[in-house]
């Protein structure tokens, strides 16, 4: 199990628990039923997301891409950036990520993508889809010297 996906699972569970506890505390102190109901609904949704992420991890329904970030282009009017990665087989992969994902050129990363629901499991198909992106972790900080 990946450390990144495990930490996402724990954080999602903690958010659900925190929402329910906070809603219960406000219910006791301010006698506010509406806030309690809303926090329970948010907590249930967090637990549902936690369960779906756990099932994704357990069934190994994700794919990783390890490589070197060689190019990054920002779109001016969009909230995405186009990133080019080179894997260990010297194949280049281009895909779109959110602008908030901070990548540095020359650094090695491991990206996690959810497998698409259709039967094709081609890496280009997975990496093209922004909604299939799960997370990223940095492997090393610089290009190794030869």
Question: What pLDDT, in 10s, does the model give residues 81-140?
Answer: 889 999 999 999 888 888 888 899 999 999 998 887 665 555 554 445 678 889 999 986
Q: Which pLDDT does position 9 carry in this prediction?
A: 95
Q: Is the pLDDT of residue 75 over 90?
A: no
Greatest C-alpha distance within the chain:
67
Local structure of residue 130 (DSSP, 8 states): G
Say which residues have a Cβ less than 8 Å from residue 89's Cβ, sequence separation at least 6: none
pTM: 0.78
- Centroid of chain to Cα 24: 30
Q: Is 139 helix (H, G, I), strand (E, B) or coil?
A: strand
Cα→Cα distances 37→85, 142, 143, Å: 45, 49, 52
Q: Which pLDDT does position 79 carry in this prediction?
A: 85
Kindly indicate the confidence band of residue 141, based on its pLDDT and cuts at 50, 70 and 90.
low
Q: Is 61 helix (H, G, I), strand (E, B) or coil?
A: coil
Encode pLDDT of 13-70 as tens digits: 999 999 999 999 999 999 999 999 999 999 999 999 999 999 999 999 999 999 999 9
């Amino acid at each position: 199990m990946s450390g990144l996906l495990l930490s996402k699972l724990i954080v999602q569970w903690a958010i659900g628990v925190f929402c329910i506890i906070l809603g219960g505390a406000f219910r006791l102190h301010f006698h506010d039923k509406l806030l309690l109901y809303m926090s329970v609904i948010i907590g249930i949704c967090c637990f549902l997301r936690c369960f779906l992420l756990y099932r994704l991890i357990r069934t190994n329904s994700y794919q990783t891409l390890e490589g070197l970030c060689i190019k990054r282009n920002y779109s001016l009017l969009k909230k995405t950036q186009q990133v080019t990665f080179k894997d260990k087989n010297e194949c280049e992969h281009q895909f779109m990520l959110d602008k908030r994902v901070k990548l540095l050129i020359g650094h090695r990363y491991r990206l996690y993508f959810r497998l698409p629901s259709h039967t094709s499991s081609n890496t280009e198909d997975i990496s093209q889809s922004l909604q299939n992106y799960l997370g990223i972790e940095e492997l090393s900080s610089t290009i190794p010297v030869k």
